[in-house]
């Protein structure tokens, strides 16, 4: 099926379009072209994230992410760096290191360090072929050794950090905060449903409106979902009871026919 969307329509409905395509695993390079060329950095950021998720089905993943790594906005560069950690391989390591060619902030610094550490086993002897600043950074990360984290934190850093940030603060107007969020501290079953199936449409968190970009399903198994939600509910100043695997199993069984993301209204919010 051919995608026939005007740029202005896509700009206004990008999140809904990509959320639908992601949920149905429908790869549309033409839609990505429009979104990566958007004048709105939030749309370009989301497009970079989707490139990472569709990497095995796109013929030009590296060139698309290289473009995003060189983007003028740090948010787009951060999304691309995190996506490269999922794509993997030496080419991804080279592309991620290109982020050093532009100014960084604390969020991008953190994401780049984690991505480079994750991709270090693929490095081989590329340090000799890299520009001096990139080679020095690679050696510095290699010398720093691994950081031991909990299973939940590892999942958060791999799947959630690029949207919700290292301190759980999110991005104003786009990605809601997790720190001291009523959604995080509230009904555990609501949180499980969101993480399992996604969330789309208007949402209010801490009195502020969100919903421009939908949250897609995370594709986690029961143990992984319990681990990451337990981490989130006890990080960033939160303090709530752990999520048990049995709770996740019960929700999965109850909602096994569900294929669409939830809305805030359906969840009673």
Instruction: Measure the CA–CA gap between 260 and 197, rounded to whole angstroms.
Output: 7
Q: For residue 153, give the H/E element and its range.
A: helix 151-155
Q: Which fold has domain 155-254?
A: Cytochrome Bc1 Complex; Chain D, domain 2 (1.10.760)
The CATH classification of domain 7-144, taken from the options 1.25.10.10, 3.40.50.150, 3.40.50.720, 2.40.30.170: 1.25.10.10
**Paired tokens of 111:** 């994401």
Block means of pLDDT (10 residues each) for the chain, length 269 residues? 45 52 62 86 86 87 96 92 90 96 88 89 87 93 74 84 84 88 93 93 91 82 93 92 94 93 90
Q: Where in the chain are the domains?
A: 7-144, 155-254
* pLDDT, tens digit, 9 for 90 and up, residues 63-113: 999 999 999 999 899 989 989 988 999 999 999 999 999 999 888 888 899
Are 7-144 and 155-254 in the same CATH fold?
no
Strand partners, 171: 175
Report pLDDT for 27.
Answer: 65
The closest of 222, 220, 223, 218 to 261, measured between CA atoms, is 218
């Amino acid at each position: 099926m051919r995608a026939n969307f005007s740029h202005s329509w896509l700009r206004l409905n990008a999140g809904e379009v990509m959320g639908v395509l992601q949920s149905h695993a429908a790869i549309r390079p033409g839609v990505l072209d429009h979104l990566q060329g958007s004048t709105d950095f939030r749309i370009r950021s989301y497009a970079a994230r989707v490139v990472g998720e569709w990497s095995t089905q796109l013929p030009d993943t590296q060139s698309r992410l290289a473009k995003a790594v060189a983007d003028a906005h740090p948010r787009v560069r951060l999304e691309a760096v995190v996506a490269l950690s999922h794509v993997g391989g030496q080419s991804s390591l080279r592309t991620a290191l290109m982020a050093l060619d532009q100014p960084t902030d604390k969020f991008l610094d953190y994401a780049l360090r984690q991505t480079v550490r994750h991709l270090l086993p693929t490095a081989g002897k590329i340090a000799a072929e890299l520009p001096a600043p990139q080679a020095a950074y690679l050696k510095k990360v290699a010398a720093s050794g691994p950081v031991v984290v909990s299973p939940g934190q590892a999942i958060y850093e791999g799947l959630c950090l690029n949207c919700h940030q290292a301190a759980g603060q999110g991005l104003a107007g786009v990605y809601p905060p997790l720190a001291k969020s009523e959604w995080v501290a509230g009904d555990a079953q609501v949180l499980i449903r969101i993480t399992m199936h996604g969330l789309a449409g208007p949402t209010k968190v801490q009195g502020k409106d969100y919903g421009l970009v939908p949250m897609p399903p995370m594709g986690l198994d029961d143990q992984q979902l319990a681990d990451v939600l337990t981490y989130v509910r006890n990080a960033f100043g939160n303090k709530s009871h752990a999520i048990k695997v049995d709770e996740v199993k019960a929700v999965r069984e109850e909602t096994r026919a569900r294929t669409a993301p939830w809305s805030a209204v359906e969840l009673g919010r």
